[in-house]
Chain A
Amino acid sequence: MQVLISIVSLGVFCLLAEIFNLRKLLVPITVIGLLAILGISLNLWSTDNSLDTQFSSMIATTKFSSAFSTLFILLTIFLIAMSDDFYKDHQAKFSDFIAIKLFLLTGAIAMVSFTNLAMFFLGIEVLSISVYILAASERLDVKSNEAGMKYFLLGSFASGLILFGICLVYGATGYFDMGEIYDLSQGVGLPVWYPIGVALIIIGMLFKIAAAPFHFWAPDVYEGSPTLTTATMSTLVKVAAIATLYKLVSGFSVVLSLKVENIIVVISILSMTIGNIMALRQKNVKRMLAFSGISHAGFMLMAFLNIATAANNLLYYTFAYALAGISAFAVIIMVTKNKDNENIDNFNGLGKANPLMAAVLTASLLSMAGIPIFSGFFAKFMLFSDTMKVGYIIVVIAGVINSIISIGYYFKLVLAMYTKDFDNNEYKPTNYYTYGVVAVLSIVINIVIGIYPSLVTQLLK
């Protein structure tokens, strides 16, 4: 709770900063503030008070929530560090954007630490509304408007489903409190609208993580939104949603029935395959990463098949995926900042023009593809290994085949960077210092947890 309160106050401070004319110092102040909050969060690590009666059992700090909050804060630091250059042309709204990112973080943290469904809904709405605004933040750009509108319409539909689901669950059990619901779900005799309600909530969450067949919004929204927003959506938002999904699923019942597991198998395989096959055909890098994100959602869903180890595997996978995503997007922003589109041609010859950034992008793509030494490999391996333990070899085989397919489009970018020459001489290597630092830092963390996976897997012990 302390973490939540301090982030909100930091956000309010950002809004006020406009008055005191602190715009130039805003990013450093926010980053330092977030680092301090990261410290608080780490300090609260050992206190595993699953029931925090102080706040009428709305929220609890557990190891699970602390671990994911750490990741979220880390990602937000990276995203805000990049804002300074990115919003150069939007000086008037600068502090608003920073504040919205902080509120987004608040929503994300509320989503992983709730103990009450009302708090869960509050979290997801705070997060979603922030993302709607960020998606449409390029006010004069038609595409950005379209993205914001699409995301808002479909997103509010999903929110409606979730809310309806919560109502049904409340009607069935008489509680919003997760603990009480959990106890009741152990017994028999819950009315039929209890599973219906749970299903509706889960469908709403599947929409948020963009798993097939609820993925249709993702490519358009990712492509249209300003690139930094796309980076936010594909890392922070996706990771927060998948963690919440785990918290919900494990909160509603301790073992999944065979029927539910079969549905997860289908959705997981479907997401992986659709995402990967569609990604192969994309020319626009943001669109390609949107589809790759869909396939990663499929991989992450695989973790739910072995619910006993799911928390650990998800935490590691999200660390690996989000850090690789941040560094990839940092380079993408750097390259395509002043271009009309984000087509792969823009990356031609980057290997010669800016070898370091090309290497970072290559490394992050290799991590997403799951090549060893990068953490993406262990993330996938742990999933495969634990899924195999519970006997779902078919999903593992599908995952392996999809990993092979994914090489096809990740390497399209790598090939463009190293084998093609840039088409014209007006290539200006936009040397934005912060992008470089963010990209390098996040890929370094990625590699470090790739070499010492225990750093992350120990967190939940």
Chain B
Amino acid sequence: MNITTLLILLLAGAIVTLISGDKLASRVALLFSLVAFGFSLNLLFQFNQGTDISFVSNWIDNPKVAFALKADGLSMAMVLLTTALTPLIILSSFGNNFNNSKNFYALVLLMSFAMIGTFLAADGLLYYVFWELALIPIYFIALIWGNGDAEERKKAVVKFFIYTLAGSLFMLVGFAYLYSKAGSFLLEDLYKLELSDNEQFWIFFAFFLAYAIKIPIIPFHTWQAKVYQKAPTVGTMLLSGIMLKMGLYSVIRWQLPIAPNAAKEYMPILIGLSIAGVVYGSIVALRQKDLKKLLAYSSLAHVGLIAAGCYTLTVDGLNGAVYQMIAHGFVIVGLFFAAEVIFRRFETRKIKELGGIRSQASGFTSMFMILVLASVALPGTYNFVGEFTVLYSLSQVNLWFALIGGTTIILGAYYMLRMFQHTMLGETNTKVFAEVSLNETIVFVVIIGFLLFFGLYPKPINDLVNPAIKEILAVINR
């Protein structure tokens, strides 16, 4: 058994969902995503036992492209993040009624397929194909099933599409150049390339455009908040929970090892930009009136810190970045889901119009509280592990980076707790807030359980990720 089966499973899931009809679609999709999760756990088990689950076969002769999928600790971690979040995201949408839901859930599974492909691909062109393929489902999800004014949404989504496509096309040019040098797209061949500093600069820059737009890093973030706000919550979860991790993962897997000298030379600028995102995101989040927008900017801040961790080029920085990617993936899905739960009951996301929910739904309030605390990296949650490791690595590079980056925790605590206070506490709301349903509870409990368990016992993830990161660092410092 190898990892191709996982991809086939998800693709088949998308097709079966498409033909299952609108009534069954959500359940079929959930079933397939759960099976995929179980299957990926099985793969993890095999991987830990040392079985070779990689897959390589010829795809195109000229240009020479291989269908190469490689699993190491890093990609396994990201694949598990995707397969674990997909059923949660699908389950979280059970309270919504989508028109044409068979198309909707098929697109969700297709996106999950493409993202897993991106995390596993070990051939530049295959990776690029998956990378672009992930863009098409989210485009339609956000465009057709989004909320708010149609014209405004259209503008936001098209801007997002053109931005990301523009960035990735430059990455494609970078790959074309690398191919003309190496004669192959295979990751291992690209790692072996000896590029001059000038070449490295251009390659790094071309890749940077693609990733900086996807992650997003300042000043390429302008598409983000609007799309997060306008997309349906499922789309926002996919985008913030998994898709932007594609950019961060690619920095570690492709950008840094292929052009290490450029990364070393421009390290202060790169970390500076990332940290600027942290400060900017936090400050803008302070002033947001819309719940989803606030979460979008808080996500911008957190992701900036992860990117900063990647660009430190230290073991701790890269490890911490991966931990924080996983933690952020779970917590942001939870938070957006909480916003959706509120919206389902009150039909609004304006913080001003909320308040006084606690007395009506204490269970929901407690779960929301834990998520808020996790997102501000309270010790005992997995976010603390990630954030702390990243900040520590930043302090190794330059203490100032760590100090400024640390504002994410302080400011984060301020705006998140203020938001919590305004939405949940206060006098009892006149509108009725029904307690969370079973489906909703399951989503919250799983997410919180994950964050708390690994917050107290992070070793399994560390053991999985660490060797892969060390391998990549060996390539970077060759």
Contact = CB atoms under 8 A, between A and B. Distances in A.
Nearest to B125: A381
A400 B170 contact: yes
Given A389-B180, A400-B169, A457-B61, A407 B136 contact: no
Nearest to B129: A372
B273 to A, nearest CB: 23
B169 A418 contact: no
Contacts of A381: 63, 125, 172, 176
A419 B60 contact: no
B143 A396 contact: no
Contacts of A13: none
Nearest to A455: B60
A279 to B, nearest CB: 15
Interface string A347-378: 00001000100000000001000011100011
Given A372-B132, A404-B162, A457 B62 contact: yes
Contacts of B135: 371
Main secondary structure of the interface of B (DSSP, over half): helix
Given A372-B133, A407-B165, A418 B170 contact: no
Contacts of B153: 419
B136 A418 contact: no
Interface string A383-421: 011001100010011001001100110010001001100
Main secondary structure of the interface of A (DSSP, over half): helix
A419 B143 CA distance: 7
B158 A415 contact: yes
B8 interface: no
Interface string B164-181: 011001101100110110
A454 B162 contact: no
Contacts of A225: none
Given A396-B173, A404-B166, A419-B154, A373 B63 contact: no
Contacts of A436: none
B193 interface: no
Given A371-B136, A419-B143, 12 more contacts: A351-B144, A372-B129, A377-B132, A381-B125, A385-B63, A388-B176, A388-B180, A403-B165, A404-B165, A404-B169, A411-B158, A419-B154
B136 to A, nearest CB: 7
Contact of A407 (B103, B154, B162): B162
Interface string B122-133: 000100110011
A454 B180 contact: no
A397 B144 CA distance: 33
B366 to A, nearest CB: 40
B243 to A, nearest CB: 16
Given A403-B169, A407-B165, A418 B128 contact: no
B81 to A, nearest CB: 23
Nearest to A366: B136
Contact of B173 (A372, A388, A457): A388
A18 B63 CA distance: 50
Contacts of A389: 180
B144 A418 contact: yes
B172 A384 contact: yes
30 contacts: A366-B136, A371-B165, A372-B129, A373-B129, A381-B63, A381-B172, A382-B63, A384-B172, A384-B173, A384-B176, A385-B63, A385-B179, A385-B180, A388-B173, A393-B177, A396-B176, A400-B169, A403-B169, A407-B161, A411-B158, A415-B143, A415-B154, A415-B158, A418-B144, A452-B60, A454-B60, A454-B61, A457-B60, A457-B61, A457-B62
A400 B61 contact: no
Contacts of B158: 411, 415
In the complex, which range does the number of interface residues on chain B fall in? Answer: 20 to 34
A425 interface: no
B184 to A, nearest CB: 12
B120 to A, nearest CB: 16
A412 B72 CA distance: 42
B62 A312 contact: yes
A159 B140 CA distance: 47
A431 interface: no
Interface in B51-97: 60-63
A117 to B, nearest CB: 32
Interface residues of A, number: 32
Contacts of B169: 400, 403-404
Nearest to B63: A385
Contacts of B161: 407, 411
Nearest to B65: A453
Contacts of B140: 418
Contact of B133 (A373, A397, A400, A407): A373
A458 B170 CA distance: 28
B150 interface: yes
A382 B61 CA distance: 12
A408 B177 CA distance: 26
Contacts of B61: 454, 457-458
A461 B376 CA distance: 61
Closest 6 CB pairs of A and B: A372-B129, A385-B176, A372-B132, A404-B166, A400-B169, A389-B180
A73 B31 CA distance: 46
Contacts of B129: 372-373, 377
B125 to A, nearest CB: 7
Interface string B142-160: 0110000010011000100
A372 B176 CA distance: 15
A396 B60 CA distance: 22
A403 B166 CA distance: 8
Given A407-B162, A419-B154, A400 B60 contact: no
Interface in B238-258: none
A355 B132 CA distance: 23
A312 B60 CA distance: 14
A410 to B, nearest CB: 11
A408 B161 CA distance: 10
Given A419-B144, A419-B150, A458-B61, A400 B173 contact: yes
Nearest to B103: A355
A408 B163 CA distance: 11
A384 B176 CA distance: 7
Contacts of B172: 381, 384, 400
B352 to A, nearest CB: 30
B132 A371 contact: yes
Interface in B326-340: none
Interface string A437-461: 0000000000000001110011000
Interface in B396-434: none
A385 B60 CA distance: 14
A225 to B, nearest CB: 31
A457 to B, nearest CB: 6
Contacts of A400: 169-170, 172-173
Given A385-B63, A454-B61, A418 B176 contact: no
Contacts of A404: 162, 165-166, 169
Nearest to A458: B61
Contacts of B60: 378, 452-454, 457
Contacts of B176: 381, 384-385, 388, 396
Contacts of A408: 162
B173 to A, nearest CB: 6
Contacts of A373: 129, 133
A291 B467 CA distance: 53
Nearest to B130: A372
A224 B133 CA distance: 37
Interface in A47-83: none
A453 B59 CA distance: 9
Contacts of A418: 140, 143-144
A298 to B, nearest CB: 16
A419 B230 CA distance: 14
Nearest to B179: A385
A77 to B, nearest CB: 27
A106 B176 CA distance: 38
Contacts of B144: 351, 418-419
A457 B62 CA distance: 7
